[in-house]
Chains A and B, each alone.
Chain A
């Protein structure tokens, strides 16, 4: 991987191919497990599903920490996915660049909001 010249040189930038491919799968598994965890607490609850039950799920500190982890995982997962879409369909590089900047701004702003909601509970 250290050959930086000739026909074996690395031509894909910051060698993010394998890293991001794997990160997208790891974050997917984390989010899937979290989804099962939340759904299980809803399904195996007794009585009507109202505010008490729903907010109670996120009340424990360990649940807050896990939710924080999942929010950050989502940020990275969605970035890789949207970048893939833009790389495939957004052809003039100027357009692609603008879309990449938009995606990052959109995701960072959304992530900040989600974390704010979580930590003020």
Chain B
């Protein structure tokens, strides 16, 4: 191998898998934002799964446990006031809405390859993000008793 060939091969850029430390410095166009938030929302629901099952358990097991379920949000639980638990619930509402709607987008792209383009990705991502935030705002307002 000549020396010049060795030099050019040295300069070739390397693209490796994304690492956690890269996430901050990356550009986040809408399509990648929708995708990244899909991951974040999934991880949030994974870590809050015991709370989700606690809500399922208490809301459904008996009249008394149903009251306990309601009181967690209206009065408080584990030394935390009710609005903290409402905020947690709001986070879960956002996470499940985003995961559901962005998941629909992924399923659509999986089954309709001929629709997929850069523009399609950006536009549907914008729809996903707006729909999710809009519905979260509406349900959040209901949760905090604004209407």
**Could you list which residues of chain A lie within 8 angstroms of chain B, going by C-beta atoms?**
25, 28-29, 32, 35, 50-51, 54-55, 58, 78, 81-82, 85, 88-89, 91, 103, 106-107, 110, 113-114, 117, 120-121
Contact = CB atoms under 8 A, between A and B. Distances in A.
Could you tell me the dominant secondary structure of chain B's interface residues? helix
B102 to A, nearest CB: 11
A78 B103 contact: no
Closest 7 A/B residue pairs (Cβ): A51-B66, A89-B20, A117-B57, A110-B49, A81-B42, A114-B53, A55-B60
B106 to A, nearest CB: 8
A113 B100 contact: no
Given A25-B107, A51-B63, 11 more contacts: A28-B103, A32-B104, A78-B45, A78-B46, A82-B42, A103-B46, A110-B50, A113-B50, A113-B53, A117-B61, A120-B61
Contact of B60 (A35, A58, A88, A89): A58
Given A29-B107, A110-B49, A82 B60 contact: no
A85 B107 CA distance: 19
Interface of B: 17-20, 39, 42-43, 45-46, 49-50, 53, 56-57, 59-61, 63, 66, 100, 103-104, 107, 110
A120 B104 CA distance: 33
A63 B19 CA distance: 43
A89 B19 contact: yes
A78 B49 CA distance: 10
A81 B42 CA distance: 8
Contacts of B110: 25
B73 to A, nearest CB: 14
A28 B59 contact: no
A30 B73 CA distance: 30
